[in-house]
Amino acid sequence: MILYEKVFHIIGMLFFVLSSLMLIPISVDLCCGHQAVAAGFTLSSLFSGFVGGLLYLSTKTDVDVTLNIKEKILLVLIAWMLLPIAAAMPFITSPFQIPWVDCFYEAVSALTTTGNSSVYNIKNYSAGFILWHSILQIFGGVCFIISCLYVFAKFRSTYAIKIESTTFIKGDSFAERLKKIITIYVGLVFIGVLLIAGAGFPVVDAVYYATSALSSSGFFVDASSGSIYSLHLANWTLVLLMFIGGCSIGLIINVVQNGLAALNNQQFICYGFILSMGTVILSIYIHCTSPFDGSLLESLEKAFVLTVSSITNTGMNFIGTDAFGNFMDTILYIMNFCGGCSGSCTGGIKIFRIIMIFLLIKSYLMRLTKTNAIYIPIYAGKRLGDAEITSLFTYFLCYAMLAIVFALLMCYGEMDFGKAIGMVVTTMNNNGPFLGTRMATYAEIAAFSPYIKSILMLAMIAGRVEFLPFFLVAMRSFWSR
């Protein structure tokens, strides 16, 4: 039985949290003399606070709120559908006259940490406007990590087999675990801001870049340039934040608590191996084909930056790839599908699924070559059984089916199927729509119809909830008692 009161009670709390967070850009814009923008934020804060308070108070009970699995699924789906309304309100009420569909697109892209924008050069807007993007990325990243770690535990391969020690965070209560996640997340942002600001960037810009890198979002303050060529210390700060953002938040907390011994983890080792291999391949290619006179070390640096940015689905390009041809674009495009560790903000298929696929292929080949041998695939000390294999292939089937459905819907909007399926798949990876092997620019996205943008927003949300809940709520058995 589904008790909707419990679901909307928590959603009310989330609305109220967003309302409270709007006080930050309100204060900043008032201090900077942008009263009109601050007034829009104030109106939005009152609206979100009213809705949140209404939902919270009308569903409040004396009983502790404990959700069953159906209520957890509904909570995540409804939250991801409704929270963009509150997140988009400051854009809608701002004096910048942004089209309403672009306001929602910005909100969904920030909350899902997709990092794809249809607004040109937001640096021309107020400091509060820029900070609100940053806040949404942090809020969305934390919400995604929480939903991964504690909501869909029974429906993801990692948790079904109880093997990911880096995924789980020890604590006496959910509140304590949440406190650890927020503390680590905000602490990393703070350190990143200090380093980037120390490299000569304004504090507001530093906050924007730090949150974009850590949440694997990839937003840029200056959308017209699409790159940050003038940095060096800030470059490596962003690379470090992207790398950390691709790790499990549980792993980071375990490292803080238990030291570097916590890095002896199969998923993290594979993550590092893929990064190393990608860096080596790309550095050789860059060094052999580069039109510039650079050393092997410089080629290695460029390759590492591009590899980290691609595998974490961040898409920050601050060294430029236009001069290296289609081969590099294709390699980076393929790496975008990988993603980071489970329990991170990255999109893609995630490292643990790559490990599982490799182990299953190895198991099959071993059985073919050694007919009398018994080879059992083991991941992190746990046998991969039929349930885990079924879960793995169900994920990919749901992925493919939703991608085809979204692409067909986009074709109804008079778009070519090949172009549509490419855009949908990369958007579902929370890496933004790609046109060929390059990400669509703000101008190209702005030119899309509201219908196409709506499909892309649904694809972003589908990627965040990892597809399966969309099919679960469509089943009759889900709603039966």
- pLDDT one-digit tens code per residue, 230-241: 445 567 888 888
DSSP character at residue 141? H
Average pLDDT, stretch 374-385?
77
The residue with greater pLDDT, 153 or 340, is 340
pLDDT in tens, 464-477: 888 888 888 888 88
Q: Could you state, in order of their start, the residue ranges of all structural domains in the chain?
A: 1-97
Q: Is the pLDDT of residue 226 over 50?
A: no
Q: How far apart are alpha carbons 432 and 424 in whole angstroms?
A: 9
Q: Smallest Cα–Cα separation from 153: which of 142, 172, 166, 167?
A: 167
Percent of the chain with pLDDT over 70: 85
Q: Is the pLDDT of residue 299 over 70?
A: yes
Q: Which residues does 112 contact at the CB level (< 8 Å), separation at least 6?
A: 80, 140, 144, 430, 460, 461, 463, 464
Q: Is the pLDDT of residue 264 over 50?
A: yes
In contact, 347 and 281? CB cutoff 8 Å? no
Average pLDDT, stretch 374-398?
81
Sign of the dihedral through C-alpha 277, 280, 286, 292: positive
Q: Is the pLDDT of residue 79 over 50?
A: yes
Q: Is the pLDDT of residue 294 over 80?
A: no
User: Residue 60: pLDDT band by 50, 70, 90 thresholds?
Assistant: confident
Q: How far apart are alpha carbons 425 and 421 in whole angstroms?
A: 6
Give the pLDDT of residue 470.
83
DSSP character at residue 352? H
Q: Which of 238-252, 267-281, 431-445 has the lowest mean pLDDT?
A: 431-445
In single-letter form, the type of residue at position 354 comes to I
User: Residue 156: pLDDT band by 50, 70, 90 thresholds?
Assistant: very low
In contact, 267 and 343? CB cutoff 8 Å? no
Q: How far is CA 330 from CA 326, 407, 432, 468, in A?
A: 6, 21, 16, 29
Q: What contacts 24+ positions apart, CB below 8 Å, involve 473-478?
A: 473/73, 473/74, 473/77, 478/70, 478/73
Q: Is the pLDDT of residue 309 over 90?
A: no
Give the pLDDT of residue 43.
94
Q: Which of 93-107, 209-223, 261-275, 423-437 has the lowest mean pLDDT?
A: 209-223
Residue 383, SS3? strand
Average pLDDT, stretch 369-388?
76
Q: How far apart are alpha carbons 428 and 136 in whole angstroms?
A: 19
Average pLDDT, stretch 212-218?
84
Residue 438's beta-bridge partner residues?
Answer: 435
* Structure tokens given for 426: 């990369």
Q: Which of 143-147, 311-315, 408-412 has the lowest mean pLDDT?
A: 143-147
Average pLDDT, stretch 354-374?
82
Q: Is the pLDDT of residue 202 over 90?
A: no
Q: Smallest Cα–Cα separation from 462: which of 384, 374, 383, 399?
A: 399
User: Residue 191: pLDDT band by 50, 70, 90 thresholds?
Assistant: very high
Burial of 416 (0-12, 13-18, 19+ CB in 10 A): exposed
DSSP character at residue 468? H
Determine how many CB atoms are found less than 10 A away from the CB of residue 302: 23
Q: What is the mean pLDDT of the chain?
A: 81
Percent of the chain with pLDDT over 90: 17
Q: Is the pLDDT of residue 283 over 50?
A: yes
pLDDT in tens, 82-119: 999 999 999 898 888 888 899 999 899 989 988 888 87
Q: Is the pLDDT of residue 164 over 80?
A: no
* Structure tokens given for 231: 């940095």
First vs last Cα of the chain: how many Å apart? 5
Q: Is the pLDDT of residue 348 over 70?
A: yes
User: Residue 1: pLDDT band by 50, 70, 90 thresholds?
Assistant: low
The residue with greater pLDDT, 178 or 445, is 445
Give the pLDDT of residue 84.
92
Q: Is the pLDDT of residue 456 over 80?
A: yes
Q: How far apart are alpha carbons 308 and 470 in whole angstroms?
A: 30
Count of positions (residues) in the chain = 481
Give the pLDDT of residue 160.
37
